[in-house]
A and B are shown apart, each in its own frame.
Chain A
Amino acid sequence: MIGNDVIDLSLAETESDWQRKGFLEKQFTAKEQVIILEAENSFEKVWLLWSMKESAYKIYAQLNEERFFAPKKFKCKLTSSDEGIVYFEGQKFYTSSILDGSYIFTLASLEKDVTYYSSIGPPYGIDQSIKKKLEEETGIYSSEIEQKKSENGAPKYYHKNKLLTQSCSISHHGNYGAFSLLLT
C-alpha cells in the first residue's frame, strides 16, 4: 500500500504562512518543531514533514474508510535528509522524498522495500497518464481502463471488473501533479 503527496514550493510560500502564530503548534509535535526551527531551511523542512504526514494519511485513508484532520498524530522521524518513518497509532509508514528546490514529492509505503512506479509532471492529464502507464504494463487498451473511486476518494483502476492497481495515489498542487502505482 502506498500514498503520495506533492507540494509546489512557490505556491506553498504564498498560500500558507508557516510562521503564523499557532501554525506549527497545531500540526507538528514538539520534536518536529525543533527539527523545523533548527533547520538551515525551516520553510523547506515544514513542507517536507507535512508531505510525510499527508502521504502516510493517504495510506491510512485507503485502509480505513475514515476521514479526519489530525496531522499532529502522524509523528515523523527523519532517518536521512530525504527518508523517514511516520508513526501513527502503532502503525509505521516508510517515506522517501524528492526535494528539487521547486517541489517536494513524498511517497509513503507500508512495506519497507516496495516496487512502485511514480511520475511527477504537470497537474493536468494525470488520469490519462495513469491509463497509458497501465496499458504499457498490462497490454490492456487504455480506453478500456476505468477509474473508480472508493467512498473516501481513493482512486482505483479497473479493466471490466478486474482491479489493476493494488494501490494508487494521486496528488496535485500548483504546477505539479504526481501519481504513484503499485500494480497487482
Chain B
Amino acid sequence: MNREELITSLKKIVKPYIQDEEAFENLSEGTDFINDLKINSANLVDVILDVEDEFDIEIDNDSMEKMLSVKAAMDIIETKLSAS
C-alpha cells in the first residue's frame, strides 16, 4: 500500500469523528487530529481501534501515545504492516 492509498483509507476512518469539515477536506500528512480536525479526545481511541480493525494490526501503548496526527498514524501503520 503506498502513502496515497494509506491516506485515503485513513481519511475514511477518521470521517465519523471529525468536527471541522474544512480541515477534513484539506486533510494531508500535516493534519493534526485534535487541533485541526477537532476530534474529541474521547474519540481518539475509536480512531485507534478502527485502524487496528481495518489493517488487522495491533497498536501498542507506545505507538498509541504518538498517534495525534495523520503523519504519525501513517508511520505507525506502515511500521506495523511491514513487521507483520
Residues on A facing B (Cβ under 8 Å): 7, 12, 15-16, 20-23, 26-27, 50, 54, 67-72, 153, 173
Contact between chains at B43 and A15 (CB < 8 Å): yes
Which residue of the partner chain, among B35, B40, B64, contacts A15 with CB atoms under 8 Å?
B40
Footprint of A on B, CB under 8 Å?
35, 40-46, 48-49, 52, 61, 64-68
Contact A20 B49 (CB under 8 A): yes
Complex formed: what's the CA distance from A21 to B49 in Å? 8
How far does the Cβ of A175 sit from chain B's closest Cβ, in whole Å? Answer: 14
Given known pairs A20-B49, A23-B49, A26-B48, the reply for A72 and B42 (CB within 8 Å) is no
Q: Is A68 a contact of B68 with CB atoms below 8 Å?
A: yes
- Cβ-defined partner of B42 (8 Å) among A12, A22, A68, A70: A12
Are the CB atoms of B41 and A22 closer together than 8 Å?
no
B51 to chain A, nearest CB (A): 11
Q: Is the CB of A69 within 8 A of B49?
A: no
CA distance A95 to B49 in the complex (A): 29
Question: Per a CB cutoff under 8 Å, which of B48, B49, B52, B68 touches A67?
Answer: B68
Contacts A16-B46, A22-B52 given; does A69 touch B40 at CB 8 Å:
no
CB <8 Å contact, A173 and B45? no
CB of B68 within 8 A of CB of A26, answer: no
The answer to whether B65 and A70 have CB atoms under 8 Å apart is: yes
Which residues of the other chain, B, contact A21 by a CB distance below 8 angstroms? 49
B67 neighbours in A (Cβ, 8 Å): 69
**If A69-B67, A70-B64 touch, does A26 touch B45 (CB 8 Å cutoff)?**
yes
Do B46 and A69 touch (CB < 8 A)? Answer: no
4 tightest Cβ-Cβ pairs between the two chains A and B: A70-B65, A68-B65, A22-B49, A26-B45
Most chain A beta-carbon neighbours within 10 Å: one of B45, B48, B64, B65 = B45
A20 partner residues in chain B, CB cutoff 8 A? 46, 49
- Having A7-B42, A16-B42, one finds 19 other A-B pairs with CB under 8 Å, namely A15-B40, A15-B43, A16-B43, A20-B46, A22-B45, A23-B45, A23-B46, A26-B48, A26-B49, A50-B42, A54-B42, A67-B68, A68-B65, A68-B66, A69-B41, A69-B66, A70-B61, A70-B64, A153-B35
